[in-house]
Amino acid sequence: MTSVQVRGRAERVLAMLDERGLEQMMVSDRSNIRWLTGFSGSAGVLIVSKRGHQFITDSRYTDQARDQLDSSGATDIGVVTARTLADRNLAISEAASGSPLGAEASIVPQSEWSSLSAHAELVAADGLLGQLRRAKDESEIALIAKAANIASETLSEVAPMLVAGVSEREIRDELEYRMRKLGADGPSYETIVASGPTNAALPHARPTARQFEGGDTVVIDVGALVDGYHSDMTRTFVVGGPSDEQQRWYDLVLASQTAGLQAVSEGVCGSEVDRACRSVFEDAGLVDLFVHGTGHGVGLDIHEEPFLGASASAELMAGDVVTVEPGLYRVGTGGIRIEDLVVVTSDGHRNLTTHPKDTPCPPSPRTI
Amino acid sequence: MTSVQVRGRAERVLAMLDERGLEQMMVSDRSNIRWLTGFSGSAGVLIVSKRGHQFITDSRYTDQARDQLDSSGATDIGVVTARTLADRNLAISEAASGSPLGAEASIVPQSEWSSLSAHAELVAADGLLGQLRRAKDESEIALIAKAANIASETLSEVAPMLVAGVSEREIRDELEYRMRKLGADGPSYETIVASGPTNAALPHARPTARQFEGGDTVVIDVGALVDGYHSDMTRTFVVGGPSDEQQRWYDLVLASQTAGLQAVSEGVCGSEVDRACRSVFEDAGLVDLFVHGTGHGVGLDIHEEPFLGASASAELMAGDVVTVEPGLYRVGTGGIRIEDLVVVTSDGHRNLTTHPKDTPCPPSPRTI
């Protein structure tokens, strides 16, 4: 698989800057830099400017930067090595050439902003890149799909291990180990394995040493990371099979998730997807147990634009990659959440999550 | 093992603030908050004030904060729930009571600093916590020692797998999987497994799919995370045993590291430890191949005060936990680094790293 090609993206930033009356900006956010250059390291700032683009980094990263920019097609971006903080400020100042310089005020620490302000006129310019990064191209979608497939396949391997006596952490360990064996660079985020009447009732629980017991709901929220791109998926199982109430909840969450997916299409407002999910729970009198938003964008960040919630105002666009993940949570009963990752298309969506979701029953343990 | 007890730490911050003419500060850095409260979550700010301490977080974390503050002995710190950003700014403003409020300008983003400045007079107050966190107490050292033991034991399990045909990533995967099995919460940082003439010559290489070949140096830099505390260790092996030059390099690095360790003691300047390591390489005419600093502090962060390099000016104090990690690197030959983690004492140091370092020969593969 060749690298994602980034050529032309910096020009799209320039066009958006132009609408704000700016000729240039300094990009500090790591994912924004990666999207514009292909650079995956942890130090450096990118100057996008009408007068030419420059990536300013330190000597540890010069070779890596040149290699990654070349293989990503960012051959129009120069690489500048700054050995000290003073060198770096000077390089930024020279690139700015006395004109106002947009900067990500929500990323740049106050002390850095303050010291740079002696060298350049900084202007807050947040949010532009988040908008541009929304519509994924085919090579980006291919990486996200690969990550999603790895997570699905791994969960198929691990689901038969969901039996009484096994701990949340043991399942987390197996998932993360096996995702890498299948080609992931690592987990996409801190894997959630949340079980039983208390832990599973917390949407963002962290895996503990708790051992499964018969009748536990087990919420597994797991994704893989491939070349910087994330996947995101949740499946819920009931150890030993569901009670009547758990089956009813499961059917409701699946109906809610199906309704949400059906609502996804280019031009639809994020709040409409949320409404579709929520209305199923309203009809069942359980909407108060759905305590989080319906979904979010996924790409170089695990949480990015657009967000799908009751107050979301953005319309979905073709190429958005978003989660749809309704759930119900109550201490005592536990929790049920079902989450797929989909690409928005002109007439609906394409589901990247292949793991089955028709039943909360884990497959029988296999004889090893 | 009971939680690290934090009572009294906030008062030490107040004493340092008093020297700067401040009565209060807002702590935003996650590790600083954890050190002062025991809170391990990812959202919230702590106000340390003569008028009473308050931890301001959102509703997702209120219960966790109360539990963790109680079990850490931070019963004198109130927990305040802020539902919105406006609520949060208001809570900070009320806590500040019109007096100047210290803040971590190197952590707080410009946009947050700017919006808070409408509510409180912010004054940059960086570095105080980094100094206070240096001298570890016995419960902190016990956690770091536990993390170090887990990493040592794991490396003993994995070292026999260092044979031709196995990849860097496979070894990384085994190390991280097995550290968790032995009780780690995860890796302390991105595990380095760097092999052969090119990768091992990069001090901060990331594991690749490269497979080992006979004669490769393999640099393994691995640590465990336990209750927020990190460990850090490097060992170097040569697949199939070293050449004469590799053995000479190994002996030199070990002599350099031994000299560095012997220099460590309360009251010694960080630059003296660096000098002790570097002079062994100077005598051998190889000092240009030692391309990084000698060591750094380790605790709630993997890199923290004090730093041991040529320009370090801080004197070591009893309770500092620092690495000593000289190395030699050259494309073609590969790399050799040996790193231990030690506690500084009044008459020298206590070494927390138990893994042997007398030879670069990996143990023979065991029959499984």
Q: Which residue has the tokens 């208001």?
A: B90
Average pLDDT, chain A: 95
User: pLDDT higher for B338 or A58?
Assistant: B338
Q: Which residue of B has its CA nearest to A209?
A: B183
Write out chain B residues lying below 8 Å of A176, CB-based. Answer: 176-177
Kindly report the CA angle at A27 between A24 and A33, in degrees rounded to 5? 125
Q: Which residue of A has its CA nearest to B29?
A: A109
Write out chain A residues lying below 8 Å of B105, CB-based. Answer: 109-111, 114
What pLDDT, in 10s, does the model give residues A49-89? Answer: 999 999 999 988 898 999 999 999 999 999 999 988 889 99
Phi/psi at B152 (nearest 5 deg)?
-60, -45
Query: Does A311 touch chain B if contact means CB atoms closer than 8 Å?
Result: no
Q: Which residue in B106, B114, B204 is closest to A111 by CB distance?
A: B106
pLDDT attached to residue A50:
95
Mean pLDDT of B246-274: 98
Q: A113 and B110: CB-CB below 8 Å?
A: yes
Whether pLDDT at B132 is above 70: yes
pLDDT attached to residue B234:
98
Query: Does A109 touch chain B if contact means CB atoms closer than 8 Å?
Result: yes
Q: A124 and B111: CB-CB below 8 Å?
A: yes
User: How many angstroms away from the CA of A39 is the closest CA of chain B?
Assistant: 14
> What is the pLDDT confidence band of residue A36, given thresholds at 50, 70 and 90?
very high
Q: Where, residue-wise, is CATH 3.40.350.10 in chain B? A: 9-132
Q: B177 and A177: CB-CB below 8 Å?
A: yes
- Sequence-separated (6 or more) residues with CB below 8 Å from residue A9: A35, A36, A132
What pLDDT, in 10s, does the model give residues B322-335? Answer: 999 999 999 999 99
The domain defined by A138-351 carries CATH number 3.90.230.10? yes
Residue B111, both tokens:
């946009």
Q: Which residue of B has its CA nearest to A167?
A: B181
- Sequence-separated (6 or more) residues with CB below 8 Å from residue B18: none
Q: A112 and B106: CB-CB below 8 Å?
A: yes
Query: Does A75 touch chain B if contact means CB atoms closer than 8 Å?
Result: no
DSSP per-residue string spanning A52-118: -EEEEE-TTTHHHHHHHHHHTT-TTEEEEE--SHHHHHHHHHHHHTTS-EEE-TTTSBHHHHHHHTT
Q: Which residue in B60, B105, B181 is closest to A110 by CB distance?
A: B105
d(CA B82, CA B146): 37
- Which one of A110, A158, A292 would you mutate to disrupt binding with B, by most B Cβ within 10 Å of its Cβ? A110
Q: How many CB pairs under 8 A join A and B?
A: 51
Kindly report the CA angle at A269 between A266 and A271, in degrees rounded to 5? 140
pLDDT attached to residue B285:
98
Write out chain B residues lying below 8 Å of A177, CB-based. Answer: 173, 176-177
Q: Which residue of B has its CA nearest to A203?
A: B60
pLDDT attached to residue B368:
44
DSSP per-residue string spanning A117-150: TTTS-EEE--SHHHHHTTS--HHHHHHHHHHHHH
Least confident of A270-274, A319-323, A361-365, B242-246: A361-365
> What is the pLDDT confidence band of residue A204, given thresholds at 50, 70 and 90?
confident
Q: Where, residue-wise, is CATH 3.90.230.10 in chain A? A: 138-351
Q: Which residue of B has its CA nearest to A28?
A: B109
Write out chain A residues lying below 8 Å of B114, CB-based. Answer: 105
Query: Does B114 touch chain A if contact means CB atoms closer than 8 Å?
Result: yes
d(CA A278, CA A281): 5
Whether pLDDT at B77 is above 60: yes
d(CA B150, CA B172): 15
Q: Which residue has the tokens 């002109």?
A: A346
Q: Which of these, A337, A330, A157, lies nearest to A233 by C-alpha position?
A: A337
Q: Which residue in A106, A177, A181 is closest to B109 by CB distance?
A: A106
Write out chain A residues lying below 8 Å of B60, CB-based. Answer: 204
HEC profile for chain B? CCCCCCCCHHHHHHHHHHHCCCCEEEECCHHHHHHHHCCCCCCCEEEEECCCEEEEECCCCHHHHHHHHHHCCCCCEEEEECCCHHHHHHHHHHHHCCCCEEECCCCCEHHHHHHHCCCCCEEECCCHHHHHCCCCCHHHHHHHHHHHHHHHHHHHHHHHHCCCCCEHHHHHHHHHHHHHHCCCCEECCCCEEEEHHHHCCCCCCCCCCCECCCCCEEEEEECEEECCEECCEEEEEECCCCCHHHHHHHHHHHHHHHHHHHHCCCCCEHHHHHHHHHHHHHHCCCHHHCCCCCEEECCCCCCEEEEECCCCCCECCCCCEEEECCEEEECCCEEEECEEEEEEECCEEEECCCCCCCCCCCCCCCCC
Q: Which residue of A has its CA nearest to B291?
A: A60
The H or E element containing residue A230 is: strand A229-230
pLDDT attached to residue B59:
85
Q: Which residue has the tokens 């801080």?
A: B314
Mean pLDDT of B221-249: 97
Other C-beta atoms lying within 10 Å of the C-beta of residue A350: 12
A236 bridge partner residues: A219
Q: B124 and A110: CB-CB below 8 Å?
A: yes
Give residue B54's region: left, alpha or beta (phi > 0; psi -120 to 50). Answer: beta
Contact by Cβ (8 Å): B229, B189: no
d(CA B255, CA A303): 48
According to DSSP, the β-strands at A340-345 and A334-337 are: unpaired
Mean pLDDT of A22-33: 98
Q: Which residue of A has its CA nearest to B185?
A: A169
Largest CA distance in chain A: 70
Whether pLDDT at B366 is above 70: no
> What is the pLDDT confidence band of residue B3, given thresholds at 50, 70 and 90?
confident
Distances from the Cα of A110 to the Cα of A16, A106, B287, angstroms: 25, 10, 38
Q: B106 and A106: CB-CB below 8 Å?
A: no
Phi/psi at A26 (nearest 5 deg)?
-100, 125
Distances from the Cα of B275 to the Cα of B252, B253, B262, B265, B351, angstroms: 15, 14, 12, 14, 20
Whether pLDDT at A277 is above 80: yes
Query: Does B177 touch chain A if contact means CB atoms closer than 8 Å?
Result: yes
Average pLDDT, chain B: 95
Whether pLDDT at B174 is above 90: yes
Q: Which of these, A15, A20, A38, A12, lies nearest to A102 by C-alpha position?
A: A20
Q: Which class in CATH covers the domain with range A9-132?
A: alpha beta
Query: Does A105 touch chain B if contact means CB atoms closer than 8 Å?
Result: yes
Residue B133, both tokens:
């966190």
User: How many angstroms away from the CA of A265 is the closest CA of chain B?
Assistant: 31
Torsion B263-B264-B267-B273 (CA) sign: positive
Q: Which residue in B60, B109, B173 is closest to A181 by CB distance?
A: B173
User: How many angstroms away from the CA of A215 is the closest CA of chain B?
Assistant: 26
Whether pLDDT at A302 is above 80: yes
Kindly report the CA angle at A277 between A271 and A280, in degrees rounded to 5? 135
Contact by Cβ (8 Å): A185, A223: no
d(CA B328, CA B250): 9
Q: Which residue in B108, B173, B180 is closest to A110 by CB distance?
A: B108
Write out chain B residues lying below 8 Å of A311, CB-based. Answer: none
User: How many angstroms away from the CA of B6 is the closest CA of chain A?
Assistant: 23
The distance from CA B35 to its chain's CA centroid, rounded to whole angstroms, is: 14
Q: B204 and A169: CB-CB below 8 Å?
A: no
Whether pLDDT at A1 is above 60: no
3-class DSSP state of A292: coil
Q: Which residue in B110, B169, B177 is closest to A110 by CB distance?
A: B110
Contact by Cβ (8 Å): B325, B294: yes
What pLDDT, in 10s, does the model give residues A87-133? Answer: 999 999 999 999 999 999 999 999 999 999 999 999 999 999 999 99
